[in-house]
Amino acid sequence: MSAAPLRQQRPARGRPAAPPAPGERPHLRSVQAPEPSRSLVPFAWACVAVVLAALASVLLVNTAMAEGAYERRDLKIEIASLHKERAGYLETLEANSSPANLAARAEGLGMAPAMALGFMSLSDGIVLETGK
């Protein structure tokens, strides 16, 4: 028995294969190992991480905005109460600075109304003009 070839050569596309000659061995060549299939797990984890990071950042921004809204509301309430307090102080000031109230308080301190008005120089202490 003759040694049969281990593997017959495949025909090139479009051409019929020529049978090997008896006693001739087909030319063998090494082939590249198939590339291992890439796993989608790292890509999936990266996508999940990006989505989770985006959701966390949206949550943090939303929480900060809500906190700012509460602070703004508290400040508006404080401003309103300060405006009311200021209005009360202005009313008290206007009541105390009225001529009738000033005269009454001056009398309470022992002051008497002036009979004549005049001007005085503070640097010299001299009366410059006297009104009648």
Structural domain spans, the chain: 41-107
pLDDT at 1 over 50: no
The letter for the amino acid at 80 is: A
Which one is predicted more confidently, 74 or 4?
Answer: 74
pLDDT at 101: 93
What is the per-residue pLDDT across 48-60, written as a single tens digit (0 to 9) for each?
999 999 999 999 9
**Average confidence score pLDDT of the chain:** 85
Measured distance between the N- and C-terminal CA atoms of the chain, rounded to whole angstroms: 159
52 in Cβ contact with 44 (< 8 Å): no
DSSP letter at 112?
-
Q: What is the mean pLDDT of residues 113-121?
A: 80
pLDDT in tens, 18-44: 666 777 777 788 888 888 888 899 999
Token code pair at residue 97: 């600075």
Percent of the chain with pLDDT over 70: 82
Residue 28's pLDDT is what? 80
Q: What is the DSSP string of 19-81?
A: PPPTTPPPPP---PPPPPPPPSHHHHHHHHHHHHHHHHHHHHHHHHHHHHHHHHHHHHHHHHH
Is the dihedral angle over the CA atoms 56, 57, 58, 62 positive or is it negative?
positive
pLDDT bin (cut points 50, 70, 90) of residue 118 is confident
Give mean pLDDT, residues 94-120.
88
Mean pLDDT of 98-124: 88
- 16: phi then psi, degrees, rounded to nearest 5: -75, 150
